[in-house]
Amino acid sequence: MAITTSLAGKTAIVTGSNSGIGLGVATEFARAGADVVLNSFTDRDEDHQIASDIAAAHGVKVRYIQADMSKGDQCRALIEKAGACDILVNNAGIQHVAPVDEFPVEKWDAIIAINLSSAFHTTAAALPMMRKAGWGRIVNIASAHGLTASPYKSAYVAAKHGVIGLTKTVALETAEEPITVNAICPGYVLTPLVEAQIPDQMKTHNMSRDDVVREVMLARQPSKEFATVEQMGGTAVFLCSGAAAQITGTSISVDGGWTAL
């Protein structure tokens, strides 16, 4: 039997998807034929325009639904408002850097809520829909920091380790069902936010762009190349394809060899 990567007829919800990795993932799902629900905490005309642009480019249905992923009730409401959820991508996340003894409590709480607890809430709401449909895929966007650590990132590292633990647990709970649960662990990805940091780094270190990228930003990424949002999206689409039907409870690193060190 031929294995297809077409996701026509499926609905994919991607949290935190009006920019960066989330937008790249959502776009690749649309390219593969899935209808898509975009999300972020804002509710601007440009958010809805992004949805319209993707729909027009790929001939699928795309909606934008505002929901604050720091609030559990809004996480669950996002799934309910979507009305269907064949594919769930938990991507929403924030970051803060500080020594643990100086780490602001409100930043810790926000990072744990958005990066970890939101995935619990959306997953709990989505699973009944997947079971009713007889098929489901959950892809959690973790991080290389879900497998290793860096100083001054206690909340982020703790949350991303938690995402991988949640991934494994839900995979075991659904192992005898046509539902898979996996995590993608990106290294440094070239997003608009990262791109915007390069000029300041060039000034700070008095280096060329190439040297800043290789020696500062990608110091821990052996390939010395950024991953791309398209690669994240392609990996997510693969995990939802027939070829990945027996891949569950695992983490796929897209980190240029970072976690091989």
Catalytic residue numbers, as ranges: 156
Structure-token pair, residue 109? 């709480």
Give 3-state DSSP helix, strand, coil % of the chain, rounded to 5: 50, 15, 35
Of the candidates 163, 158, 154, 217, the one whose C-alpha atom is nearest the C-alpha of residue 185 is 163
Q: What is the dihedral of CA 205, 210, 216, 222, to 10 degrees?
A: -160
Residues 6+ apart with CB under 8 A from 51: 36, 38, 62, 63, 64
Task: Please name the amino acid found at residue 23.
Answer: L
Q: What are phi and psi of 58, to 5 degrees?
A: -120, 0
